A and B are shown apart, each in its own frame.
Chain A
C-alpha cells in the first residue's frame, strides 16, 4: 500500500514547523513506521541541524529531482532511530529550481518507499509552499496562540481547502500560566476562529531547545511535556485517531477532537 505524504505548514515563520516535523517523524519511526522528513526550505535548510544530521549530508532534494542521485542516496538515516530518514534541502539553489510537478513526481516515489513522509514547508505562501502542497495528501497546520499566527494559519487553511486538502491543527508553544492570566489566547479561542480538526496541543517546553542543541530527538527525552504530546500526535496520525487530546491547562478530564468545544454552553 502507498504511504502518505503530509505537509507541515503555518504561513507565519518561527511557529514550530521544523520542530513539529522532526518530533512527529521521530515519534512515528519509533512506533515502527518507515518515515521520511523532507526539508522544503530550499536555500535556508535547518531540519538537518535540528536533527543533528548536518555533517552526514551528501546529496539533497534538488539532486534527486535533477536526477543526479536516487532517493535512497539522498536520504540520510537518523543516528538513533531506525526507519527515520531525512531528505535535506539544498543550501545553494534558488527556491524556484523546484516546480510543483517535480514534487508530484517525487511524492509518487516517496509513497512507495515510506509509510509516512512529512514535508517541512517554508514560511509564507509562495513557491516553497506551493511546491509543498502540490504533492501532499494531508496537511498539518501549526500555529501558536498569537493573533498574527492564527490569522496566517487561517489564510493557509483557506488555501488548503481550495486544493481540497483537509488540514488538521497543532497549537504549539502554549504557556498555560499565561492563558490562565488572560495574557495568551486559549486553544478554545484559537479553535473558535479556525474550526478545524485538532491534532494536538503542545506546551512551551525548554526541552525543545535542549533537543535542538544536542541533536537528541525530543520524543526520546524523559519528562518532556512537548515530547509526550508529539508521541500522542504520532499515535493519532497512525491508527489511533480518537486518542484523547490532553488539555495543557490541566483541567479535569480529557476532551476528544473538536467535540468538547461545541458542548460548551454559556
Chain B
C-alpha cells in the first residue's frame, strides 16, 4: 500500500503508544527529517512514549526500523520502539466471531463433569473432558480428567489433568494443597504450602509443572476473545 498523500511519515494514532506509518521506499534521510518534524510537534508527549514504526504490508525492514528507532530514542527520548504485531486475523476467524456474537455462544457445547460434594479418601473420579468439583478433594482421593480440573474448594488429594497427553490443561483450586499433580505426562509431587490459601493453578511451562496465583497469573485473561475450552 502506497501512501496516497505521498507523505514519507504519518502519525496514525495515539492510543497507549504512537503509531507511525512510514514509507520504506523513501531514503533514510528523508524519513529522519520527516520524523523530526512530526516528533517536534509532539514535544514532551514523545518522552518515554512507546512507538510503533509501521512500514506497511509487504516490507521486511527490521534494519530500517532499528535505525529509525535508535534515532528517535537519541533525539526525542522516546521509550520502547517496536514494529507492529503481525495481524493474525483471518476471514475465517472473523466469521466465527460474528457467529459467536450472533448466537451468544449458544451453538457450542463444552463437555464438563460437574460434581458437588466432598471427594473422600479412597474415591476415584474420572472425567472424559473437564472436571469441576464444587467441594473439597481430600487426601487419599484421586481425580483424573482429559481436560482441566477446577476445584471450587480445597484440593488436598491427587489431581491428574490433561490425561493422557494434553499439556495445555490446568489444575485450579481455591485452596491449592495437592498431594500430587499430573498434567499430561508430567508429574509433580505436592508442595508443602506456605499457608496462604489463595486460589492457585498449575500449568505446564517449558516441560515443567508450575504453580501460580490464579488471580494474578490467570492465563486466560490474555485471550482477547472468549473461546470455548
Q: Contact residues of A with B, CB < 8 Å?
A: 147, 151-152, 154-155, 157-159, 161, 193, 195
Residue B118 interfacial (CB < 8 Å): yes
Contact present for A158 and B122 (CB under 8 Å): yes
Q: Choose among B123, B136, B139, B156 the residue that contacts A158 (Cβ–Cβ < 8 A).
A: B123
Specify the chain A residue showing the minimal Cβ separation from B140: A151
- Kindly list chain B residues whose C-beta atoms are within 8 Å of the C-beta of A161: 120
Known: A193-B138, A193-B156. A151 touches B121 (CB 8 A): yes
- Kindly list chain A residues whose C-beta atoms are within 8 Å of the C-beta of B122: 154-155, 158-159
Contact present for A155 and B121 (CB under 8 Å): yes
Q: Chain B nearest CB: distance from A14 CB in Å? A: 19
Smallest CB-CB A-B distances: 4 pairs: A158-B120, A154-B121, A155-B122, A155-B121
Q: Contact residues of B with A, CB < 8 Å?
A: 118, 120-123, 136, 138-140, 156
Q: Chain A nearest CB: distance from B192 CB in Å? A: 13
Q: Is the interface of B mostly helix, strand, loop or mixed?
A: loop
A-B contact pairs, 14 of them (CB 8 A): A147-B139, A151-B140, A154-B121, A154-B122, A154-B138, A154-B139, A155-B121, A155-B122, A155-B140, A157-B120, A159-B122, A161-B120, A193-B139, A193-B156
Contact present for A151 and B139 (CB under 8 Å): yes
- With A151-B121, A154-B120 known, 20 other A-B pairs at CB within 8 A are A147-B139, A151-B139, A151-B140, A152-B121, A154-B121, A154-B122, A154-B138, A154-B140, A155-B120, A155-B121, A155-B122, A157-B120, A158-B120, A158-B121, A159-B122, A161-B120, A193-B136, A193-B138, A193-B139, A195-B118
Specify the chain B residue showing the minimal Cβ separation from A193: B138
- Kindly list chain B residues whose C-beta atoms are within 8 Å of the C-beta of A151: 121, 139-140
- Kindly list chain A residues whose C-beta atoms are within 8 Å of the C-beta of B138: 154, 193
Q: Chain A nearest CB: distance from B113 CB in Å? A: 18
A195 to B140, CA, bound (A): 15
A74 to B6, CA, bound (A): 111
Specify the chain B residue showing the minimal Cβ separation from A160: B120
A152 to B138, CA, bound (A): 11
Specify the chain A residue showing the minimal Cβ separation from B119: A158
A178 to B70, CA, bound (A): 68
- Kindly list chain A residues whose C-beta atoms are within 8 Å of the C-beta of B121: 151-152, 154-155, 158
Specify the chain A residue showing the minimal Cβ separation from B120: A158
Specify the chain A residue showing the minimal Cβ separation from B197: A266
Specify the chain B residue showing the minimal Cβ separation from A195: B118
A161 to B123, CA, bound (A): 12
A158 to B125, CA, bound (A): 13
- Kindly list chain A residues whose C-beta atoms are within 8 Å of the C-beta of B136: 193, 195
- Kindly list chain B residues whose C-beta atoms are within 8 Å of the C-beta of A195: 118, 136
- Kindly list chain A residues whose C-beta atoms are within 8 Å of the C-beta of B123: 158
